[in-house]
Structure 1
C-alpha cells in the first residue's frame, strides 16, 4: 500500500524542549494508528506536524497529491454561526444531507440533533464544541482522518459509536487517545512517542503492552518498577481478557514465562476479608430514596445497599444523573424522600469533576504532606513523595507550585491527596480525565490492592472492567439496574431501547398521545424561554472560565469563582434536561 504521508528526519522543539528528534515514519492507505505517550511528550505536536498544522524545525513532510484530510486537534476552532453552518455548510438543503445515511448517523451519533442544529457555536460548552468539530471533520469524503483525544466528552455509547464509524470507513486514521478500549478496538498499529523518538508496534493497546513487557524483560537497564508494572498489566490482560490481544504476533512462550511468577492483580477474597474488618456490615445504604437532578427524575423509591469491599462501576448516558447520585452517596446532596445511611466506621473520599480545594500557595509535595506523611494502601506503605511519584510527579516536579500546575496535574494531585487520607470508601467521578496511559496504569495498580469499597463513574470502560467487580446502570427508568454482563450488556440494552423507541410514533391511529394545539403553543413558548436561559448560562460559564484563568494566583478569588461556576453548571444541566423533556412535546 502506498503511503499517504511521509516524515523524513523530522525534528520539532518548543523552547529548549525537543519533542521530536529525527523522526521518520509514514501513514499508509487504510492504516489505523493509535498514538500513545506521556502528557507533554509530543503526541499532539506529532499530529500537528503530520497534518500540516505546524511546520517542523527540520526534516521533510511529504503528502500525496490531492490528499483529502480532516484534522481535529485540541486547538481546532469553529467558525462563527450555527452548528448547521459548521457541519453541513456544503449541503444546499436539509433533504440533501438527510438522504445520506452516513451523514445522518454522524449527526445523531454525536448528539447534534439533541444539541440543536440552529444553536450558535459561540454559546457552546467546550465538550459541545469538540463534538461539533468532530462531526464537521467526519461528514466529508476522506482519505485520512487525524484526531486528538476524540473520546473526551463522549459517554460509553458515544465512544462505541465512534469506534464503529471509523472501522466502517475506508479512510486511514491517526488518533491520539488515552481510551485503551478504543485503541484496542480501532487501531491495528501503535506509535509510542517517548524521548523525542517514535517507537512503532503492531496491534492496539494490548499488543503494545505485550511488546513493552517483552522489551522490559530483555532490557537489563530498564527501571525495575516500570518492568514490574508492565508485567502486572500483562498478567491481567493474559488471564482476564484474552480476546483483547492478537497474540500470534508475539512469542507466546516468552509472554507466558514473563508472567509465570506474577500473582493475580487483585486477590478479591483477601481484600473482601480485610474490608469487612475495617468497615463492618454497614457501609452506604439508600432506603426508599427519590432523587431528582433539577426537574429530571433520577431515582424513584429505590433501595440500594453498598457493602464492604464492593467495587462498583456506574454507567449511564450523559445527563442520566450519575454525578448527582454520587453526590448523594457522598452526603453532598439530599434525597427528595427516603434516607441515606452511612456506617459508623466509614471514612469517605469523593473525587468530583471540579478542580477545587487545592492549596495554591503550596508546592506539590507540601500539598500531599499536608494530608499525611505516609500512607498504607493494602499491603503497600509509601511516603508522600513516593505516592506523588506513582501518580506522575517525579522528584523535580514535586517542588512545583500548585498554582502553576496544568489541569491534568491538578487532577493527579487531587487523587494523591485523597489517597493520603487513607479512606475506606472511594467515590470517583471520571477519574481518568486528563490522565495519560502510564498514569492510568499506576492508578489501576493502586486500586487493585486497595482494600475498601469503591464506586466509579467513568466513560473509560477499560478502567471499569479492570478495577470493578460489578456494573450498575442508570437507564432512565428511576431504578439502579445491576448488569451481570457488564458494559456489553448495558450497550445491548441501550441499543434495543433505541430501536424500540420510534415505534409508538408510527401509530397514526393513536392521536390521543399527541399534545393539543394549546399544549403545543405552551411548549414552544417554554422552549424559547429555556433556550434564552441556556444562552445566558453558557455566556456566564465562558466569562467565569476567563476569570479563573486571570485569577490563577489569587486563591481566595478562585474559591469564589469555582463556587459560582459549579452553581452555573448545575443550573445549566437542569435547564438542558427540561429543554429535552419539553422538546419531545413539539416533535
Structure 2
C-alpha cells in the first residue's frame, strides 16, 4: 500500500531548482534511505513530505489519515519536564493534557477545577489509552520516565526524541542524521529497535554501517533529480558508478558534436550562403541544452601536507591513571604508539576519549604513571567542538590566520583557490562562518587542518555531517598518509577502513587494546554476559549448591598439531617479507609511485595475515597447555 507519493515536485530558492520534477513514493513497511551531497536539498525534500515546505509545482498525495512523525537532527529548544512528559508531547494536545494532568497531581493536587477539566479532555479523547501507550514506549526504549529531560546524556535525549515521534503512532517516520553525536552502543540500540519496528521509514544518514543494516531501498537526490535504487548499499554504489560512467560518455559525445557544429557555423561566407537552416536551429537547441546542463557537484580534492618525519616513537604510556572529578578515565593503562600507526579510540559518550588523547600527547598530566612523547612531532588537531573556527569572521579568514596566501606542498596558493578544493565557491568563502551548515563546517575545519604541515593527525569525531563522497576521500587520504593518525569516531565503517589498532573504553577506567578496527573489537571483546556476570552466588540456607563440573578443554586433533607446528615458519616468512617490502617502499614512493601503491596494499594484507596467524597460534597453544 502506497502511504505517500510526490508527483512532479518542483522547488527553487533562486538559482537552479533544488527539486526539478521529482517523483517519489513510499510503501508501508519500507525503510528508504535518502542520499545526496551536502546542499543538494535532502532536508528540504523531507520538509515537503511533512508539509512544512510548500512546493512551487506538483502534487503531494497522502493516504487517508496518514500519520507522519519526525525525529529531528538536533534537539529542539524549549523541551522541558520529565522524560515521560517529553515523550507524551509527541501526541499533540492530548499528550500535553496528559503531561499537565500528572504534573498537577504531583505538584499541586488541590487545583481540582483544572484537574477536572483535564480529566474530561482525557476521557473524551481516548487519553487513557494514550497513557498506557506512553508507558509502553518508555519501557521499550529503556528510558527513565521520571528523570528530567535536561539531565539526560546526548544518547538518551535522542532516544527520548524517538519516543516522542512514536507517541503519535506514525505510519511514516522521518529521521534526519539519527546517529550524529551518538556513541556506538546508542547507535546499535536504535538500529535494533528500527529493524523490528513495523512502520515505514525515510531517513538521511552518512553512517554507512547504519545504512547497510536498515535500508531496503536507496533514493539519491542529485542535481534536482531523484533516482531510486532497489537493493542494498553496495548494489547502489556499483550501479551508480555505471550510470555516472555512461553519463560522462554521453556528455563527451554531446560536447564533441557541439564543437563540430560550432566550427561549421563559423565557416566562410560561401558556406553560410548554402547552410542548412534546420541544422542552424538544431545548433541553437544544442547551445540551450549546454547552458541548462547541471554539472555533477565536484568532489573535494584536499591533500595532507606532510611535515618532516617524526622520530620512530610517537608516544609511550606506562601504568597511566587519571581521574576527572569523581570519574576514573583510565587505570594502569600502558601502550606504545610508533610512527605510521593508525589508532582508533572508541567508547561511550563521556568516557574520556578526548582526555585520553590529551594525556597521550602530554597536554595533561596523569595522576600516576608516565608518558614519554617522541621527537619532532608536528601535530594537526581536528576538534569535534569546532572551537578553532572564529564564527565572527568570513570563511576565508579562518584559513592561515587570515592571510591571502597559503603554502601547500611548497607552492604558494591563493586562499580562495585553496578553499575551492574543499567545495567552497568564492561567494561562500566570503560568507560569515556562522551561517555554514554542519557539513560545510566540517570541510572548513579540514581545510584549516590540512593548511599546516603535520606528521601526526589527531581527528576527534571528523565524520559528523560529512557526505559519503567526502568520507571516502578522507579515508583514502588517511590510508596513504605516511605519518601517524589518532582518531576518535563512532562511525564504525570509518574506523574499520582506517585504523590498524583500537583502544576501547570498557568501563571503570579499563582501556583495552585490540588489533584491527570496530568489527575486530566486536569479535575479540569480552561478551556482555562475561562482563556483567556476578561473583559466585552463595547457596541459600534452604538449598545446597550443586557441585560445579570441571571444564574440560577440547583435545587437539592431529590437524591442529600439524598447523601449530607449521605456524612459526609461516609467521617468520611473513615478517621477512614485511621487512623487505618496508625497506623497498620508501624508494618506490620517490621513483615509481604506481608500484608503491601495490606494495602498500601487500603490506596491509601481510599485517592482517600476521594478526590472524598470531591469534591462531595463541588459540592452539592454549589447547596444548
Q: Please, what TM-score do these two structures have when normalized by structure 1?
A: 0.68
State whether residues 306 and 454 of structure 2, in contact with CA within 8 Å, keep that contact through their aligned partners in structure 1. no
State whether residues 154 and 182 of structure 2, in contact with CA within 8 Å, keep that contact through their aligned partners in structure 1. no
What's the secondary structure of 2:350's corresponding residue?
Answer: coil
What's the secondary structure of 1:400's corresponding residue?
Answer: coil
1:167 matched to 2:195:
yes
Q: Summarize the Cα distance change of 1:119–1:495 in structure 2 as closer, same or farther, 3 Å threshold.
A: farther
State whether residues 83 and 146 of structure 2, in contact with CA within 8 Å, keep that contact through their aligned partners in structure 1. yes
Q: Summarize the Cα distance change of 1:485–1:324 in structure 2 as closer, same or farther, 3 Å threshold.
A: same
> Cα distance, 1:384 vs. partner?
5.5
Partners of 1:392 and 1:350 in 2: CA distance: 21
State whether residues 500 and 516 of structure 2, in contact with CA within 8 Å, keep that contact through their aligned partners in structure 1. no
- Matching of residues 513-524 of structure 1 within 5 Å: none
What whole-Å deviation, never above 9, does each CA across 1:171-214 have from its counterpart, x for those lacking one?
22100111111111110211112222212212343333212221
Aligned to 2:62: 63
1:202 matched to 2:241:
no
State whether residues 391 and 443 of structure 1, in contact with CA within 8 Å, keep that contact through their aligned partners in structure 2. no
Partners of 2:324 and 2:415 in 1: CA distance: 38
1:50 matched to 2:81:
no
Aligned to 2:546: none
State whether residues 157 and 491 of structure 1, in contact with CA within 8 Å, keep that contact through their aligned partners in structure 2. no
Q: Summarize the Cα distance change of 1:403–1:320 in structure 2 as closer, same or farther, 3 Å threshold.
A: closer
State whether residues 330 and 348 of structure 1, in contact with CA within 8 Å, keep that contact through their aligned partners in structure 2. no
- Matching of residues 221-370 of structure 1 within 5 Å: 278-359=309-390, 363-370=394-401
What whole-Å deviation, never above 9, does each CA across 1:83-129 have from its counterpart, x for those lacking one?
111225679699956995x753423xxxx33xxx3334466687654
Aligned to 1:82: 82
The higher radius of gyration belongs to 2
What whole-Å deviation, never above 9, does each CA across 1:411-467 have from its counterpart, x for those lacking one?
322222222212111111101122222322232232232111111111111111112
- Matching of residues 405-444 of structure 1 within 5 Å: 405-444=436-475
Partners of 1:293 and 1:413 in 2: CA distance: 32
Partners of 1:448 and 1:421 in 2: CA distance: 19
Counterpart selection for 1:188 from 216, 219, 232: 216
State whether residues 329 and 340 of structure 1, in contact with CA within 8 Å, keep that contact through their aligned partners in structure 2. yes
Q: Summarize the Cα distance change of 1:205–1:382 in structure 2 as closer, same or farther, 3 Å threshold.
A: farther
> Cα distance, 1:490 vs. partner?
3.8
> Cα distance, 1:475 vs. partner?
0.5
What whole-Å deviation, never above 9, does each CA across 1:262-306 have from its counterpart, x for those lacking one?
xxxxxxxxx9xx999822321112122112233211211222111
Partners of 2:523 and 2:389 in 1: CA distance: 40
Q: Summarize the Cα distance change of 1:198–1:279 in structure 2 as closer, same or farther, 3 Å threshold.
A: same
Q: Summarize the Cα distance change of 1:178–1:401 in structure 2 as closer, same or farther, 3 Å threshold.
A: same
Q: Please, what TM-score do these two structures have when normalized by structure 2?
A: 0.64
What whole-Å deviation, never above 9, does each CA across 1:510-546 have from its counterpart, x for those lacking one?
9xxxxxxxxxxxxxxxxxxxxxxxxxxxxxxxxxxxx
Structure 2, unmatched stretches of 5+, are 89-94, 99-126, 253-303, 542-625
- Matching of residues 474-489 of structure 1 within 5 Å: 474-484=505-515, 486-489=517-520
What whole-Å deviation, never above 9, does each CA across 1:543-562 have from its counterpart, x for those lacking one?
xxxxxxxxxxxxxxxxxxxx
The worse-fitting range, judged by mean Cα deviation, of 210-219 and 168-177 is 210-219
Partners of 2:536 and 2:423 in 1: CA distance: 52
What's the secondary structure of 1:167's corresponding residue?
Answer: helix
What whole-Å deviation, never above 9, does each CA across 1:346-399 have from its counterpart, x for those lacking one?
11122222222335565444543448723349xx99886565334332454334
Aligned to 1:13: 12
Structure 1, unmatched stretches of 5+, are 225-270, 511-587
Partners of 2:514 and 2:158 in 1: CA distance: 31
Counterpart selection for 1:143 from 153, 171, 177: 171
Partners of 2:434 and 2:75 in 1: CA distance: 26
> Cα distance, 1:74 vs. partner?
3.5
Partners of 2:149 and 2:525 in 1: CA distance: 29
